[in-house]
Chains A and B, each alone.
Chain A
Amino acid sequence: MTVEAREARQPWILLSPALTAVALLLLVPLAFIVVYSFWLRTSTGADQVGFFLDNWQEALSDRFYRDILLNTLKIAAITTIVCALMGYPAAYVVARSKGNKALLLLLLMLPFWISYIIRTMSWINILGVSGAINSALLALGLIGEPIQMLYNETTVILGLVHFLLPFMVLNVFVSLEGIDRTLEDAACSLGATRWESFIRVTLPLSLPGLAAGGLLCFVLGAGTYITPLVLGGPTDAMFANLVFEAIITQLDWPLGSALSLMLLGVLGALVAVYNHFLGMAQLMKGLG
């Protein structure tokens, strides 16, 4: 075999374990889901094999699903905006810090060492009826009885921000790190104040990172079912909760499959739009 042929083969040899895993654990199950979505759950509870459009018709035409989908997108959008507003300044501080950058980055990664579910549940100990805040206020005599702070849309967003903020910070950080600092000096020497040079130079150059962070926050936020389950009230279900409900509670796999594909389609379209304008390379940079 020639050297060129060996070199051409090498990437495939190295990639094959990962490709096998992706194929077996992602593509094949996804194919099952697609097939499932065209089956039908009969009143007896058994699945009828075939090609039925009933699930799709229900998923796409029922106002209930549409409203929850819109609400899910709304919550994801609010979460993304809050993450951007809170995450950008934090990323800026980390990127511009001189001595302790490694420590700050470590602190940023720290939440990932604790399970997302536990992090979400921790809010119950803080905001709950017998949580830290209520206990403190009761002990101080400022309130007569506990305030109901949990189980509403605000706490769902709070939990999502808590979960997703590091993704935003890391993405913005990576893009700020890639910007030459002398650009700001140059802008200032030409007459711009620090703020003007930030607005005209640094901010536009960091937009790809902000967009990548935003996409991650939005997609992960819109796909979550744990946060609304733990921190939301009965009316705060998000779209993934419907999938959970259909498959786990009602054992209606065909309908659950159709709903999950619907969410996948909406989020996939979003990623495609992002990719069209900004490319996936930026997203990959920030995931590292």
Chain B
Amino acid sequence: MSAVQLTDIVKQFGTFTAVHRMSLEIPDGGFVTLLGPSGCGKTTTLRMIAGLLDPSEGEIAIGGRRVNEVPIHKRNLGLVFQNYALFPHKSVADNIAFGLRYRNVPQAEAAKRVREALELVQLPDVGDRYPKQLSGGQQQRIALARAIVIEPDVLLLDEPLSALDANLRESMRVELKRIQHRIGVTTVFVTHDQSEALAMSDLIVVMSDGRIEQVGAPEEVYNTPATEFVARFLGASNILDGRVSGADGGELTIEAPAIGAIRVARARAPGLDGAGPAKLVIRAEKLRLAAPGALVDGEVAVDGMVETVDYQGQAARYFVRVGGEQLQAINMIDDHPFAEGEAVSVCLRPRDCAALPGGPQ
């Protein structure tokens, strides 16, 4: 188990820069997720940590030791791929034992560790089978078992769940977190799926265009996005152009045309000082629709009109016209959803709002 440290990492492919001078500290034993859309450099970063790619510049250290010049087979990493990458010509047990052969583990000991790894991934009886005879979810468990049986310093997971179907993905996510927690290995997880990132990570690194947008705990990244990209990428957000119209000790007053003046805690508005253009960020599930006039204490309300209803069973996503803006609201359904064309009160609590610097684009 070891911390991973990236210092000023640059990766260029020809004239294309995939990763721009990135520095990142991955704590020992932590579960860190690199999150971003495809092409944001997250997989490139993972492959550099793995030793499958060389950084063009910068230093990679694992457990305090520079590993730039250490080839992949000497880095002692567990690598799990999206497509499982199990050896089709070897039995499950031989797949798992593959890495033990390079670690001078005696036969009996190896067999015992393979058995333990199979138990850890809750597939104790499949050792004699071949990968093709297993389901996708089972194959991914075996790939995980193969990666952790070598007791790696760092576990690297490259979109390991994205080839699985939705239900399986959610149960594997819990399973993966359980296993990681139990063995306590430093884990770097790459995904484009925000719900996976939020559910599993100790720390989320949001990336875009080869740069880190924000590093923080899931709650922090979700509630206090550092950039508009983060606000848009995680969850459904309303982002309104406005300006800072006043500031006192702990709060900033932000004036947004559609909503009016909202007082936002300074802690939720990092990067803003007392004046200038700003963007107000309100999560779609924090906008509450109500019958006109039904205001709750502490809420700010504006009049709106439901334009579109996207019914989702337990909840509905509404697109509501408020002044010149279309806002998005996701509400649990009580009784029956609002109808398209219905006049509503759009209510929000100022403490649910966050703010970002920036003017109209």
Interface SS of chain B: helix, strand, loop or mixed? mixed
Distance from A237 Cβ to chain B, minimum over Cβ atoms (Å): 42
Instruction: Decide: B79 and A185 in contact? CB cutoff 8 A.
Output: yes
Instruction: Decide: B98 and A187 in contact? CB cutoff 8 A.
Output: yes
Q: Does B102 contact A (CB under 8 A)?
A: yes
Q: Chain B interface: which of A169-177, A190-198, A220-228, A245-253?
A: A190-198
Instruction: Decide: A189 and B87 in contact? CB cutoff 8 A.
Output: no
Q: Does B32 contact A (CB under 8 A)?
A: no
> What residues on A are CB-neighbors of B103 within 8 Å?
191
Known A-B contacts A190-B99, A193-B73; A201 and B87 likewise in contact (beta carbons under 8 Å)? yes
Q: Does B182 contact A (CB under 8 A)?
A: no
Instruction: Decide: A205 and B88 in contact? CB cutoff 8 A.
Output: yes
Query: For window 146-191 of chain A, which residues contact chain B by CB distance below 8 Å?
Result: 180, 182-183, 185-191
Q: Does B78 contact A (CB under 8 A)?
A: yes
Distance from B102 Cβ to chain A, minimum over Cβ atoms (Å): 3
Distance from A194 Cβ to chain B, minimum over Cβ atoms (Å): 8
Instruction: Decide: A192 and B102 in contact? CB cutoff 8 A.
Output: yes
Query: For window 100-138 of chain B, which residues contact chain A by CB distance below 8 Å?
Result: 101-103
> What residues on B are CB-neighbors of A201 within 8 Å?
87, 89
Q: Does B275 contact A (CB under 8 A)?
A: no
Cβ contact of A182, chosen from B71, B78, B85, cutoff 8 A: B85
Cβ contact of B83, chosen from A182, A190, A192, A205, cutoff 8 A: A182
Instruction: Decide: A190 and B150 in contact? CB cutoff 8 A.
Output: yes
Chain A residue with minimal CB distance to B52?
Answer: A185
Chain B residue with minimal CB distance to A179?
Answer: B88
Q: Does B190 contact A (CB under 8 A)?
A: no
Instruction: Decide: A186 and B85 in contact? CB cutoff 8 A.
Output: yes
Q: With the chains together, A154 CA to B87 CA distance in Å?
A: 41
Q: With the chains together, A196 CA to B75 CA distance in Å?
A: 16
Q: Does A204 contact B (CB under 8 A)?
A: yes
Q: Does B146 contact A (CB under 8 A)?
A: yes
> What residues on B are CB-neighbors of A185 within 8 Å?
50, 52, 72, 79, 81, 85
Q: With the chains together, A196 CA to B102 CA distance in Å?
A: 10
> What residues on A are CB-neighbors of B146 within 8 Å?
186, 190
Distance from B5 Cβ to chain A, minimum over Cβ atoms (Å): 20
Instruction: Decide: B87 and A183 in contact? CB cutoff 8 A.
Output: yes
Instruction: Decide: A189 and B50 in contact? CB cutoff 8 A.
Output: yes
Instruction: Decide: A182 and B81 in contact? CB cutoff 8 A.
Output: yes
Chain A residue with minimal CB distance to B152?
Answer: A189
Distance from A201 Cβ to chain B, minimum over Cβ atoms (Å): 6
Contact code string A94-129 (vs B, CB < 8 Å = 1, else 0): 000000000000000000000000000000000000
> What residues on A are CB-neighbors of B197 within 8 Å?
none
Q: Does B77 contact A (CB under 8 A)?
A: yes
Query: For window 37-62 of chain A, which residues contact chain B by CB distance below 8 Å?
Result: none
Q: With the chains together, A245 CA to B156 CA distance in Å?
A: 68
> What residues on A are CB-neighbors of B87 within 8 Å?
183, 186-187, 201
Q: With the chains together, A5 CA to B129 CA distance in Å?
A: 41
Instruction: Decide: B73 and A192 in contact? CB cutoff 8 A.
Output: yes
Instruction: Decide: A189 and B89 in contact? CB cutoff 8 A.
Output: no
> What residues on B are CB-neighbors of A183 within 8 Å?
85, 87
Instruction: Decide: A188 and B73 in contact? CB cutoff 8 A.
Output: yes
Q: With the chains together, A192 CA to B89 CA distance in Å?
A: 17
Query: For window 64-99 of chain B, which residues contact chain A by CB distance below 8 Å?
Result: 71-79, 81, 83, 85-89, 98-99
> What residues on A are CB-neighbors of B76 within 8 Å?
191
- Of A186, A192, A200, the most chain B CB neighbours within 10 A belong to A186
> What residues on B are CB-neighbors of A189 within 8 Å?
50, 72-73, 75, 77-79, 147, 156
Distance from B215 Cβ to chain A, minimum over Cβ atoms (Å): 26
> What residues on B are CB-neighbors of A192 within 8 Å?
73, 98, 102
Q: With the chains together, A201 CA to B150 CA distance in Å?
A: 18
Instruction: Decide: B52 and A191 in contact? CB cutoff 8 A.
Output: no
- Of A188, A196, A201, the most chain B CB neighbours within 10 A belong to A188
Chain B residue with minimal CB distance to A183?
Answer: B85
Chain B residue with minimal CB distance to A190?
Answer: B99
Distance from B157 Cβ to chain A, minimum over Cβ atoms (Å): 12
Chain B residue with minimal CB distance to A201?
Answer: B87
Contact code string A273-286 (vs B, CB < 8 Å = 1, else 0): 00000000000000
Instruction: Decide: A190 and B102 in contact? CB cutoff 8 A.
Output: yes
Q: With the chains together, A200 CA to B150 CA distance in Å?
A: 18
Distance from B38 Cβ to chain A, minimum over Cβ atoms (Å): 17
Q: List 16 A-B contacts (CB under 8 A).
A: A180-B83, A180-B85, A182-B81, A183-B85, A183-B87, A185-B52, A186-B79, A186-B86, A186-B146, A190-B98, A191-B76, A191-B150, A192-B73, A193-B71, A196-B73, A196-B102
Add 18 more A-B contacts to A180-B83, A182-B81, A205-B89 (CB < 8 A). Answer: A182-B83, A182-B85, A185-B79, A185-B85, A186-B79, A187-B98, A188-B72, A188-B73, A189-B73, A189-B75, A190-B73, A191-B74, A191-B101, A191-B103, A191-B150, A192-B73, A201-B87, A205-B88
